[in-house]
Every structure is written in structure tokens, then in C-alpha cells.
Structure 1
Amino acid sequence: MMAREKVDEITLHLNSIHELFTVPQPDPFVENVHFMPAIEIIKSKCELPGFLKHTRTRVTIFLPAPHIEPNLEQKTHEAIHRYCTFQIWQTNNSVAILKQDALRALIIGILFLAGGLFLLNNVNVLPAFLSTFLSDGFNVAFWVILWRPVDFFLFDLSAFWREGRVYKQIMRAEFVIRPEEQQREHAGITIPGVS
């Protein structure tokens, strides 16, 4: 017997399909108010631990019936694809720039340490205290310079990779659009603050 494919459900209640990417002037007195574009809500849901382990994601969007037009699901999927493609490109571009800066800082740090050690080992006229002081100072300065590349390769890089995976997951998601009056017929997880 084959196991059923698990589907992660995200349910959104929007006043217009354009609220996927933009938000009208938010009014907290309105019951169905939105404070951020719906795509950010989808992204935050996909960032939850364990969410990417599942095979499929389905986003069900409930709209007022007059706002539903022919081929809206296809148009929405194409718009999501364009948006995520740009976000992935932007993420990759940021990684390339930061990697270049980190490598430059790494090279400067190594040259700084090598130059400092060379000078200290070849100057014998300095008192022991001053020699130790300068040696320790060079070590501290080296690690300060080295902190940026270490921080980038150990922490920042994984965060950028995770963000890229989230956008790819959104691109693969199934988008279903339903009239608002049908919301009781379709079960799903409603994002807090959305409905």
C-alpha cells in the first residue's frame, strides 16, 4: 500500500490577487486587514523547521467572487515564478558580492599577520615587554580582520542558501484560487493574522 503524499497547506484570504505582492494602506479597524504582502506570509510559513522536508506545498487563496477571472491560477503561478526567479537572482548576486569581500578580508588578514610576525621575528632591539605587546596586538588585529570572512562562511552563507531553497519551494507550490464563499468547503491551515 502506497503512502499518501503529504501536502503542506497554506490558506490566504485576500481582497485582491494583487495583495500577493502589494498591500494597500493598512487600516487596523478593518477586519481583514493585511500589514504585509501575502508572498511574505507564504515565505515565512515555508521557512518553518521541517516545512521543506515535505514533497508538496499547496497555497489556497480565497478571493471575493468578482475578483476571480479566467486563467487566474495560471497567471498567479507565472507571477510567482517571475518574483521568485528575481529573488533567487538577487540572493545569488548578494552572495557573490559578500564572498568577494570575505575573501579579500581573508587575504588582507593573512598578509597582515605574516608581515607582523616577520617584523617581530627580525627586530631584536625591542624590549621583551614591547615585543610581547606588539605580538599580542598583531594576533588580536588578525582575528578582528578575520572575523568577517569567518562569519560569512559559517553563518551568512547558510542563511542565503536557505532563502534560495525557500523561493524554489514557493516556485514549485500549487496555487489554488477559490471564491470566498467556498472557504468552508476546503480545509486548510489559515495563517494567523490573515483571515
Structure 2
Amino acid sequence: MRENVDEITLRLNSIQDLFSVPQPDPFVETVRFVPAIDIVKSRCELPGPWRKRRTRIVIYLPARHIEADLARKTRAAIQRYCTFQIWQNRNSAVVLKQDALRALIIGILFMASGLFLLGNVNALPTVLATFLSDGFNVAFWVILWRPVDFFLFDLSAFWREGRVYKQIMKAEVVLRPEEQPASHADAALPETS
């Protein structure tokens, strides 16, 4: 039976390359433009049938950089990183949720006052009454757009990102010695499996 694992392979010059921002050289074939953990995250964000039940992060390092307890230390570092990202993600969601709720309350108050005013436009000429009514409708939807957008679309993005970091936290971390000497680039592009 075939194992249902999404394997993400990284080739790094040192374990610090997992989190450090590289100085990319586009003239090198194995160039990396982002920290290697961002590559892991982007692979874990794949939707639908491409997502597997488990994730394995295989990191190839030069043999001289592999020490006895490095896999455990790497897993602990990934745990700390993901815990911080989840905390930061939650804080951002809370702040945006408060802003959206505030905008929703302002929108409801605007709607209530607008409905009260529109109930008394019968005394105005038809053109002016239509102008005020249509203008109010447009203004109302513009004011409510941000809270509606947040609750329908943005909030789910925060939930999805939290799930991705939880998946990375559960990932198996495997360190292997690089068979060939790594080039002078920061790290190789991820291999797909």
C-alpha cells in the first residue's frame, strides 16, 4: 500500500537557510528568493486532491552540517515558528474583525438614518427625491462593503492560513546528507513529488 504523504524536498547549504532571507543570485540555477519555510508553506497551501494527509519535509544538507540532534532541533524550531505565525495570524484577524464590526455598526446607523430621511422625501421634487434615494443606496453599499468583504472572504483566508501552519507543525522532518556538494547558491528550488 502506497503511503499518503506529501513530501517536500529542500536542498539547503545550512539549516539556518530554512528561516533566513537569502541574497538571491538569479544567474545560479539553484537560486532561492524566499526563506525555505515559505516554500514549505506554499506547498501546504495547495487545495483539493493535491493535499495529502501527512506532510514530510526532507532537507538535504552538506554532511558536515548534520549533527546528531539536528532533526529534533529543527522540528522544535519549526514548532516555535509556526506557533508565532498562528499567534500573529489570530491577532491580525481579531484587529480586522473589530474594524469590520465597527464599520458594520456605522453602516447600520447610516442605513437607519437614511431610511428615516428617505421616508420624508415625498415633499421634494421627484428628481431630487430619486437623486437622494439612489445616492443613499450607493453610499450604504459602499459603507457596508468592507465588513461584508471581511466576513465573507478575508476571515476564511485567516482560518486557512492557521490550518496550514498547524499542518506544518505536524510535519515529519527528515534530514539527509547531500550526495553531491551543494553549489554556492543559497538553496535549491523545491522538488515536487
Asked if these proteins are the same fold (TM beyond 0.5), I'd say: yes
Give the number of the structure with larger relative contact order, counting CA–CA contacts within 8 Å between residues 6 or more apart: 2
Cα 1:28–1:120 shift into 2, 3 Å: closer
Pairing partner for 1:35 from 33, 53, 69: 33
Q: 1:14 aligned to 2:12?
A: yes
Alignment partner, residue 115 of structure 1: 113
Task: Give a deviation string over 1:70-119, Cα, whole Å, max 9, x none.
Answer: 20000000000000001111111111111111111111111111101112
Kindly indicate whether the alpha-carbon contact (under 8 Å) linking 1:7 and 1:57 is maintained by their aligned counterparts in 2.
yes
Q: Distance in 1 between matches of 2:43 and 2:7?
A: 10
Kindly indicate whether the alpha-carbon contact (under 8 Å) linking 2:10 and 2:58 is maintained by their aligned counterparts in 1.
yes
Kindly indicate whether the alpha-carbon contact (under 8 Å) linking 2:22 and 2:34 is maintained by their aligned counterparts in 1.
no
Q: Distance in 2 between matches of 1:32 and 1:136?
A: 58
Pairing partner for 1:48 from 27, 46, 49: 46
Q: 1:193 aligned to 2:189?
A: yes
Kindly indicate whether the alpha-carbon contact (under 8 Å) linking 1:19 and 1:37 is maintained by their aligned counterparts in 2.
yes
Bigger mean CA offset, 19-28 vs 107-116: 19-28
Offset at residue 4 of structure 1 (A): 5.1
Give the secondary-structure state (helix, strand or coil) at the position aligned to 1:26.
Answer: coil
Offset at residue 28 of structure 1 (A): 2.6
Kindly indicate whether the alpha-carbon contact (under 8 Å) linking 1:61 and 1:177 is maintained by their aligned counterparts in 2.
yes
Q: Which runs of 5+ in 2 are unaligned?
A: 181-187
Pairing partner for 1:175 from 173, 176, 184: 173
Alignment partner, residue 185 of structure 2: none
Aligned residues: 186
Q: Distance in 2 between matches of 1:9 and 1:23?
A: 23
Kindly indicate whether the alpha-carbon contact (under 8 Å) linking 1:105 and 1:148 is maintained by their aligned counterparts in 2.
yes
Offset at residue 132 of structure 1 (A): 1.6
Alignment partner, residue 127 of structure 2: 129
Offset at residue 124 of structure 1 (A): 4.2
Give the secondary-structure state (helix, strand or coil) at the position aligned to 1:48.
Answer: coil
Offset at residue 126 of structure 1 (A): 1.6
Q: TM-score, normalised by structure 1?
A: 0.87
The amino acid across from 2:58 in the alignment is T
Kindly indicate whether the alpha-carbon contact (under 8 Å) linking 2:10 and 2:189 is maintained by their aligned counterparts in 1.
no
Alpha-carbon RMSD across the aligned residues, in angstroms, is 2.2
Fraction of identical pairs, as percent: 74
Offset at residue 25 of structure 1 (A): 1.8
Give the secondary-structure state (helix, strand or coil) at the position aligned to 2:166.
Answer: helix
Give the secondary-structure state (helix, strand or coil) at the position aligned to 2:123.
Answer: coil
1:25-174 mapped onto 2 (5 Å cutoff): 25-50=23-48, 53-174=51-172
Task: Give a deviation string over 1:23-73, Cα, whole Å, max 9, x none.
Answer: 332223334322111000001111112368532111100000111112000
Q: TM-score, normalised by structure 2?
A: 0.88
Q: Distance in 1 between matches of 2:59 and 2:9?
A: 6
